[in-house]
Amino acid sequence: MVQVCKADIALALTTLGSHPSGRSGAERVHSWLLEPAAARLGHLAELAGQAARKLGKPPPLVDLEHGEMRLCPERWGPIWSNLVHVVRTAVYHGIETPEQREERGKPASGQIWLLAGLRGADVVLEVRDDGRGIPSKRVAEKARARDLPHGTPEELQRAMFSDGFSTADQGHTDISGRGVGLAAMLQACEQLGGRLEMDSSDGAGSCFRFVIPVASPDEVWTPVVHGDLEAQTG
């Protein structure tokens, strides 16, 4: 690993910026100030394995998709930190036990997909699993018991991400948390102007997708043409 200080990066940016043909190089050098999504997703994959082992489940197979994206650590740090709760929820609530999966004709190990990418002028972060799916009736029952709105899919989503909400009957663990993790993730997402999209299929898994607008093209880098993003966020 080669370490480069910020002063050297600033000098390189100044030098490249003085040449008409240096823009693409300057963008690449600027990306060194940003944090690789690959590293964050890899850490989440490790945490998924640790959580599964604590629960006595086989570590899930984890697929990563990031397109070499890099993000500003100051702006996106809270999102990455809270995304841990979504991954743990997938392991704890989503992926079944090996016995349950065998009954459903699934491999003993579950599978999780972690994605970070661009969709127009939005960053999309996604956690998807091939587990049991979201028990909508159970969520509605718990929401009703807590006097939370639950008549529409959007209200059920909001209930799931409310403070202290859990569909578990038994005591909580350090893996599942106490229902505050998902609420913190949604709050961090909405603070950046983002929104939650959820998909679920009974017995076939769930998808939690966080769509967050890019405030400035300087906070995100991918190998795609950067000018397109500048035009959309300008």
Q: What's the alpha-carbon Rg for the chain, to the nearest Å?
A: 20
CA distance 221 to 163: 34
Please give the pLDDT value at position 211.
Answer: 97
CA distance 38 to 44: 10
Please give the pLDDT value at position 229.
Answer: 63
Nearest alpha carbon to residue 122 among 208, 217, 42, 39:
217
CA distance 114 to 136: 23
Please give the pLDDT value at position 176.
Answer: 47
CA distance 18 to 32: 19
Domain-by-domain residue ranges, the chain?
A: 1-33, 34-233
The residue length of the chain stands at 234
Cα dihedral 154→157→161→163 (10° resolution)? 70
- For 213, other C-beta atoms within 10 Å of its C-beta total 14
Beta strands in 3-110 (DSSP E): 35-36, 61-65, 70-71
Tokens of 29: 């050098």
Please give the pLDDT value at position 230.
Answer: 66
Q: CA–CA distance from 42 to each of 8, 21, 46, 49, 80 (Å)? A: 28, 35, 6, 11, 11
Sign, CA dihedral 210-202-176-61, equals negative
Assigned CATH for 34-233: 3.30.565.10
Q: How far is CA 14 from the centre of its chain?
A: 34
Please give the pLDDT value at position 143.
Answer: 82
Per-residue pLDDT for the chain (234 aa), expressed as one digit of tens each? Answer: 445 555 544 544 454 454 544 455 455 555 667 899 999 999 999 999 999 999 999 999 999 999 889 999 999 999 999 999 999 989 988 999 999 999 999 999 999 999 999 999 999 999 999 999 887 788 788 888 888 877 777 777 778 777 777 666 554 444 444 456 788 898 999 999 999 998 888 888 999 999 999 998 889 988 865 556 666 676
Cα dihedral 218→220→225→228 (10° resolution)? -70
Helix, strand, coil % in the chain, rounded to nearest 5: 50, 20, 35
- For 138, other C-beta atoms within 10 Å of its C-beta total 12
CA distance 203 to 130: 8
Please give the pLDDT value at position 139.
Answer: 79
